[in-house]
Every structure is written in C-alpha cells, then in structure tokens.
Structure 1
Amino acid sequence: MRIERIEVKNFRGFASRAFEFSPSFNVLIGDNGTGKTAILDALSIAAGAIFLGLEGATPPGIHRDDVRRVMHTSGEVPTLEALYPVEVRCRGLIEGKSLEWARTLEGPNKHTTHGQTSDLSKRTLSWRSQVRKGKDVVLPLIAYYGTGRLWLQRRARQSTASDGARVLKPRSRFRGYHGCLDPSSNHKDFVSWFKTMELIQLQEGRALGTLGAVKHALRECMRDWTDVRYDLRLGMLVASKKDGAQLPFDMLSDGARSMLAMVGNIAYRAATLNPHLREQAPSQTPGIVLIDELDLHLHPNWQREVVDDLRKVFPQLQFVATTHSPFIVQSLRENELINLDDQSRETLPSRSIEDIAQEVMGVELPQRSHRHQVMMEAARKYYAALEQAKGSKGKELQRLKQELDELSAPFSDDVAYHAFLEMQRGKAGLPGDDS
C-alpha cells in the first residue's frame, strides 16, 4: 500500500492544496506554520480509511480542530468563521491496484463520511475474511510517530516500572494496528512483544527468525549498537555497544531511545501483522509510516544516515516525514523533497549544507553566525553615524552620540570588538559611550 496523491480542501491552513508522493521516501520542509504536521495528519486520515470494517484500530476522522477558519473584520467586531466542507481526497495503490477514495466533513454537527471509500472497504473486508480463515494474506503496515514520542515513552515506563512489561497472549493479527495512527501512542506493546518472544526462545531452546529480524532492523538503524535484548532481571530492554558496554533502555541517549523505540515498533508491527513472513516480515511488509521531525534528538552524523538506514531495513514501506535538518535534506534522492515554502521538488545530494540551508531552507548567510551578521550590520551603521557626526553640532550631534551608544551597547561583552568601536569613535573626535 502507498499513497500517490492527496488533495485537501478547507483543512487546517489550506484552502485547497494537492501533494504528490514518491513511493519510497518523502520529506516535508518549510518554515514553522506552513502546514507540515497538517499534511501528516491528513495522510493519517486518508490511510486510516483502511480500518473501516477492520477490528484492532479506529479510523481517525476529521475533527473540529481540522476545519479551516477565516477572520472577517467587517464592522467593529471581528468574527471567525469555519469553512465547510472539509475534504481529504486520496489516490493510492493497494495490492498493486490504483484506487481513489475521499473522506469529508460536511458541517459542524456532522460525522466524517465514509461513502467515498467503498472500493477500499471491499479490499479491507477481504483481508478480514482471509485472516479469519488463516490465509497468508499480506496486511499493510500503517504507523504515525509524532513529536511527543520520547516524552510518552517516559510516561509509559513510569506506569509499568513496578511490574515490567507483560507477556502477550495470542491475539488477532490486527493487533498490529492497535494505536498505530495515534501520534502520541507509546511503545509498551513493542516491549511486551519483545519480552514474550525472548521467553519463547528460552522455552523452545531455538532462535526465532521473527525476533532475529527485529533485532537485525535495530542493529542496522542503531549503528553503534550490536544487540538489543529484553533482560528478565531488570525488566527492560538492554542494548549492547560495539565496545562491549551494556546499557538499559532508560540510560540511552534521547536520540538512541527515540530511534530504538520507533524502529522496534515498526518491526514489531510488521511481525504481528504478517507472522507468516517470519524473518522477512520487516523487509517484505508494505505500508505507510508518518514521522514528525525525523531529526528529533539525533546528532548531525546520524541525521545524514537515518533516511538510508530506514530505506534499507524497510524497503517496502513508504515514508513521509518532516524535518528542519539540512543534513536529512542532503541525503534525499530525486523527487523526495517537498518544500512547502516554494512548492518545489529537487534533487540535492550533490549540494553543500550551506547551499541547502541558504537556497532551499531560506537561512541567510549560514556560513556565519547570526551574531556575526548583527555585529557587521551594527558596524556599518556605526561608521555611517560617525561620518554624519563629523560635521554635526547641537541637538543633531547629541542624537548621533546616542545612536552610537545604542549601537555599541549590545556588544559590551565582546571586549575586542567594543574597544575597536571606541577607537574609531576616538579617531572621529567624539567622546566614548561612558563619558
């Protein structure tokens, strides 16, 4: 399953906008407030339509907060009006077949419509029937990871600190959809699954290919870590580094915890949805994964590699992510970047970080710090004021002296720079700012 195109109408800040997506990786960039997270939310509504008729997950609908509102200032009292209908229209591939579907909210007292999802519903009802008969149908993976994922991991650990992860009893394959489109969902199910599989290995005295595949996915995406296991004595995941050090999950860096939990959760869902694929479940499960701020807590070295790592470990998945990192942008391939600031798509791997930051992301002179730029601008104004002061008298001279004082004051902590400005002031025959 993958989404090729989505069109939104009256959704959040978009009056009407369409986006097309590449089959492997898509990264959304743009200034704050341009709608990156809104697109992810619209995609979750579109992709979540597959849950109509399936147990294990609730399809997300269009909510009141998703409705576009406009301000009117006619008269003395401004008004804020909601615009309907709100529509999320989608075109995608399901099991190799092109389908189109839409979900609409017609008014403030209405519910999200399902009437334009009949073709998709027929497909998902077929999955339900085959799963109940024990058929080896491949179910697509759907998942959404929001910016609060690390904080919610901490909350989940606190709630289970007393008894550790539970052992999972056999459940439906559709359990792999539980909480998958809640961007605030936690990783408790993944940890419980990991513990259960470790216990089965011990009981049966043999390695489980599915657990091995999940561990392989973690190793490929963690780079400096050689193994992850569930320690029964500690009641938590433990990671082993290449230098032999072992650290409990709680002691890992924020970036390592965030990546381990997300990759592990994706691999766990693939193994739960498609157990018949065994060790091939992570690499052969298709689907869609949404990630808000892919660079969250990751060092720049890791940011440069994370896209290729995810692409390699989960080759059948379509990723749509947001970022503010030029390192992630630099790692993309043709047509994988969606720039909301200028609606462009371009290939960037051969461009420097400075070029990407300045020309693509709109950062002015990224080669220099913002403070340096402010200092240079202040120096230009300072010299201009000195030139004016040379022939000035009376009130005009006092005004220029005050202007010089204001220009130099922010840099009093930089002794050399401040002394240089004072020296130039002395050369012009004007008293210093402390006179």
Structure 2
Amino acid sequence: MLKLQWLQVHQFRSVNPGTRLSFSPSFNVLLGRNGTGKTLLLDLLAAVASSDFTAMALEPFELEYALSADTGRITVRVRNVPVMPQDGPAGSGLSMDIVVSPRDMAWPLVIRREGLQVTVSREGDTSLVVQERLAPEVAGRLWLVLMSGGIAWVEKTGEGTSTVEPLLAMAREVSALAGLSRFDEGLAYFEQLYQVELRLSRRAEGVLATGTGLASEALLDGLRRLAAAQWGSARYVVPSDAVPFLRDASRLLGFTSAEASLVPLEASPEGKYESLTLGGLELDFLGPGDTRVSARQLGHGQKRLLALQHYLARARAVVVVDEVAHSLHPQLVRASVEPLKGRQSFFTSQSPVLMDLLAFESAEHVRASLVVCRREEDTGLLTWEDPSPEAAERLFTASAAAPGQMGALLQAQGLW
C-alpha cells in the first residue's frame, strides 16, 4: 500500500511557506489549539495522499511530496495557477514534475505535465522524450497522468507493455486511494450514508450491481447475491453478516445484528437486459426481544460510530479522521483505532483518550508521528512542524517512565 512519506508546502493559503513534515507509516496525530489549521491540514493530506487535486483547481498552490510502498516510490512537485472554467478546460493551470521509481523497473521515468501537455523521459537521459496530450477528464488526478504517460511511452517508443508494467501497477495503487476524504468531526458523513442509489442489471451471466454515493462494496455484493435469488421483490434486505461495517457497528453498539434495506425506485429494460434502480436506504439495528432501532434514531455518538465504521471499511490504505474521539466512549475509541495499525492514519483529537493510546519506540518515532500546529500571532500564518529533536527526546523519555499518560505529558511539555 502506498503511504505518504513527507510533504513540503511552498504555497497554500495562509500556511508558512517552506513548511516540511515527515510522517509515520502508521499513526500520525495533529496537535494544536482551535484555529491552528488542523482540519485544513487533514483536508490537504487527503488530497495529497490520494493525489487528486481536482477540487483545488480554483486556488493557487505549490506542493512537493513523496509516496512509497514495497513496489516503489513516487515523488511529485505540483503547482496550480487557477484558470476559470470559461478560460480553459479543467487542469489547464496545473503542472507536475513526477519521478516514478518502481522497484521492478530498470530505470525511473520522469513525467512532466504542463497544463494538458505531458512529456516522458528516462531519469537523467533526455535523448528520448515522448510527448502526449491529456484529455480534460484527467483533471487533477495523478494516477491518470501516470497511466497516460506509461501508455504513451509504450506506443511511441515501440517498447513492450511489460517495460512499464511496474509503473502502471503503481498508477493502479494510486487509483485505489481515489475518493479519500476527511471523516468530519460531526455527522455529515452519517447523513451521506443515505444519499446512495444502487443499480442492478440482470444478465445471462448473473446480476451486476453498481452504486453512487457511499455505497460500500460489501453492500453491493450482498445486494447482488440477494437480487439474483429474489429479483422483483418489493424490498431487499441485506443482513449485517454480509456487510462487515454494519456487523462491526452492531457488535460495538451492543446490538445482536443489523440489516440494510432498499426499495425499487425504477425498473426498465436495457435492450436484452433488465435493470432496477434501488434507493430509500434504511439501516436498522436488532436487539433482544425483537427490538428494532432505526439508525436515524440512534444517539449522536452511536451515529458517529456507525459512520466511522463505514468510513474505515472504505479507507483501506490511508485514514484521515477529524476529532476521532468526539462523542465516543473511550472503549469505542480504542476499538475503532487499534485495528488500524497496519494503515497510515492521520487524526486530530481534543480528547486525551486518543493521546493515551499512543506508544512510541524512539524519539525519532515521536518526531515522525506528531505534527504540532500553531498560528503566528504577529503574521497570522499557520505553522505546522514536527517536534524538535530535543522535544521528541524529552517526550519519549517521559512516556517510557509513565506509559498511558501521553495526554498529560503532551500538555506538560507544551506540545498540545
């Protein structure tokens, strides 16, 4: 899985130019008071980790960062000069300098993008330069730039596809992060759970299922199997055993099970196929004595836990969560966070519950895992930085002597 190694901000809103941060491959926690840009940084990290700058097309910025995995490394410098829609296609103000170094490729490729024009060459060798024009639909998506550059190299050099297959594999790894966003501190994500529309198509080879919004793959798969056996039903009910996020939420909330139900909105033929559009999603939890509770009737913290389980089921490589402990019992925070140790996670929290779960292996681990966020009083600029080596050493020494007291130690040392 690709993970974000470091980020340097040359220009972005009111962030201090030259800001450079390094990150841990597991937990990363943003520390600071209200108004120090923690949520802004989470949004930026989601855009950078997914390498999709489409939503930032109308603001100027210049960033540099590196993604790495067992399969190789990608370094990117991206700049944007806003171009209004009436003045040019999407992405025409974007430029990228990319070095792709797949582990199993003989040489790294350098891909340079200026607007919709791309050039590709071997690193350190400009004797052969391939040019390609991007489709406007590429917009700010890095994975499509990588795909376009790799395919253009094969087509215009005559080299076999196997030559750049490691690059294309890394492009697919980037595409797996598409749609990564910040899990908000309130219930916005919970409300989005219901804004889904699913479409079924019955063909000779079976039923296909697609969805819009936050439809989970498990829900689609469970619905596909259900529709194959019950095509034409007035209501489709998928049990929580078939939907892991719903199963986990029901267990954590103390229910015996749960179910997701949808109703047909429209049925129409598609040539020789039958299609069915489903909506009206309802999520219900079942308890002892046949009690049934709609997710809409849950308390604030329960709703947030349900939404968080859905988010974590989708964010399989990188997790970006704002105020992870907000309105959750400490046991639920622990149960949600501890299974994420294999993923790269970025959190904020004003609760010591999250902080007290942190454990560090060294002072360097402290530096890589914490980001201290401040706002300069005289300039108003946002300052984001790793703890100093001295502060990291003090915190590591203190935490070894008082395990499980990280929140108090961070406050005592002025880091939180």
Corresponding residue for residue 248 of structure 1: 294
Offset at residue 189 of structure 1 (A):
2.9
Q: Are residues 253 and 93 of structure 1, via their aligned partners in 2, closer, same or farther at CA, if it must alter by over 3 Å?
A: same
The residue that corresponds to 1:150 in the other structure is 187
> What's the offset of the Cα at 1:30?
0.7
CA deviations on 1:145-189 (whole Å, 9 max, x unpaired) are 3436514644775xx6xxxx543347xx9x89x8xxxxxxxxx53
Q: Distance in 2 between matches of 1:209 and 1:327?
A: 29
Alignment correspondent of 1:167: 198
Partner of 2:373: 340
1:194 aligns to 2:219 (yes or no): yes
Q: Distance in 2 between matches of 1:305 and 1:361?
A: 28
Deviations 1:304-362 (A, max 9, x none): 44321444xxx3x3211211111101112323333335742555581436624631567
Q: Take 1:361 and 1:300, find their aligned partners in 2: how far apart are those partners?
A: 24
2:279 counterpart of 1:259: no
Distance in 2 separating the partners of 1:236 and 1:353 = 40
Residue type at the aligned position of 2:411: Q
Distance 1:29 1:62, change over 3 A: farther
Q: Is the 8 A contact 1:304 1:330 kept in 2?
A: no
Alignment of 1:211-290 (within 5 A): 211-218=242-249, 222=252, 224-232=254-262, 235-240=281-286, 245-267=291-313, 269=314, 285=316, 287-290=317-320
Specify whether residues 203 and 111 from structure 1 end up closer, same or farther in structure 2 by C-alpha distance, changes over 3 A only: closer
Deviation at 1:4, TM superposition (A): 0.7
Structure 2 partner of 1:7: 8
DSSP-derived class of the 2:198 partner? coil
SS of the aligned residue for 2:9 comes to strand
- Equivalent position of 1:31 in the other structure: 33
Equivalence for 2:176:
140
Distance 1:155 1:260, change over 3 A: closer
CA distance, structure 2, for counterparts of residue 248 and residue 112 of structure 1: 47
Shift of 1:34: 2.1
Of 352, 355, 364, 2:408 maps to 355
Alignment check: 8 A CA contact 1:26 1:320 kept: yes
Bigger fraction of residues in strand = 2
Kindly indicate whether the alpha-carbon contact (under 8 Å) linking 1:105 and 1:112 is maintained by their aligned counterparts in 2.
yes
Q: 2:327 is aligned with what amino acid?
A: H
SS where residue 15 of structure 1 aligns? coil
Q: How many residues align?
A: 289
Worse-matched range after superposition: 246-255 or 108-117: 108-117
Aligned to 1:308: 338
1:60 maps to which residue?
55
1:102: which partner in 2?
A: 77
Look up the match of 2:94.
113
How many angstroms does 1:18 deviate by?
0.9
Which one of 315, 327, 331 corresponds to residue 353 of structure 2?
A: 327
SS at match of 2:56: coil
Partners of 2:218 and 2:243 within 8 A in 1: no
Is the Cα–Cα contact under 8 Å of residues 246 and 309 in structure 2 kept in the other structure? Answer: no
Unaligned runs of 5+ in 1: 52-57, 68-85, 131-136, 179-187, 271-284, 364-435
- Partner of 1:33: helix, strand, or coil? coil
Aligned to 1:295: 325
Q: Could you tell me which residue of structure 1 aligns to residue 44 of structure 2?
A: 42
Report the CA distance shift for 1:208/1:151 in structure 2 as closer, same or farther (over 3 A). closer
The Cα of 1:87 is off from its aligned counterpart by: 1.6
Give the helix-richer structure, 1 or 2: 1
In the alignment, structure 2 segments of 5+ residues that lack a partner are 85-90, 101-141, 152-160, 166-171, 202-207, 231-237, 264-279, 375-384
- Which SS does the other structure have where 2:320 is aligned? strand
Q: Distance in 1 between matches of 2:290 and 2:414?
A: 41
